[in-house]
Structure 1
Amino acid sequence: MDPNHKVAEQEALEQLDPLASVPTFKGALGRLIGWVDTLFTVLAVLALVAIAGTVLLQIAARLFLPFSVSWTEELSRYLFIYMVALSVGVVLRQHRNVSVELFHHTLGLRARAVFQVVICLLVVGFAWMVLPHAWQYAMNGAWQTSPTLKVPMLYIFFSTVVMFALLLVYGAIGFLEGLVAIFRSPERPDAETP
Structure 2
Amino acid sequence: MAEKKQSKFSDMLGKLETGLITVLLGGMTIVVFLQVFFRFVVKGSLPWSEELARYLMVWAVFIGASIGAREGAHIGVEAVVNVLPKRLKRGSIVVSGLLSVIFSIVVMVLSFQVIAVLVSTGQKSPAMQMPMYWAYLAIPVGSIFMAIRFFQAMVEKFQAPRGEG
TM over 0.5: yes
Of 32, 35, 59 in structure 2, the residue corresponding to residue 58 of structure 1 is: 35
How much has 1:128 moved relative to structure 2? 2.5
Instruction: Determine if contact 1:116/1:174 at 8 Å carries over to the other structure.
Output: no
- Aligned partner of 1:45 in structure 2 is 22
Change (3 A) 1:100 1:52: farther
Mapped to 1, the partners of 2:39 and 2:87 lie a distance apart of 57
Q: Distance in 2 between matches of 1:116 and 1:34?
A: 23
Give the structure 2 partner of residue 175 of structure 1.
154
Matched residues, percent identical?
A: 23
Aligned to 2:123: 144
Unpaired runs of 5+ residues, structure 1, are 1-24
TM-score normalised by length of structure 1: 0.72
Residue in 1 that maps onto 2:63: 86
Q: CA–CA distance in 1 between the matches of 2:26 and 2:88?
A: 39
Q: TM-score, normalised by structure 2?
A: 0.83
For 2:142, the equivalent position in structure 1 comes to 163
Residues 75 and 60 (structure 1 numbering): CA distance in 2 closer, same or farther, change over 3 Å? same
Aligned to 2:110: 133
Once residues 114 and 138 of structure 2 are traced to their aligned partners in structure 1, the CA distance between those partners, rounded to angstroms, is: 10
Give the paired residue count.
162
Please give the root-mean-square deviation of Cα atoms over the aligned residues, in Å. Answer: 2.5
Tell me, in whole angstroms, the C-alpha distance in 1 between the residues paired with 2:123 and 2:154: 38
Check 1:46–1:107 CA distance in 2 against 1; reply closer, same or farther (3 A cut).
Answer: farther
> Which is worse superposed, 108-117 or 154-163?
108-117
What are structure 2's unaligned runs of at least 5 residues? none
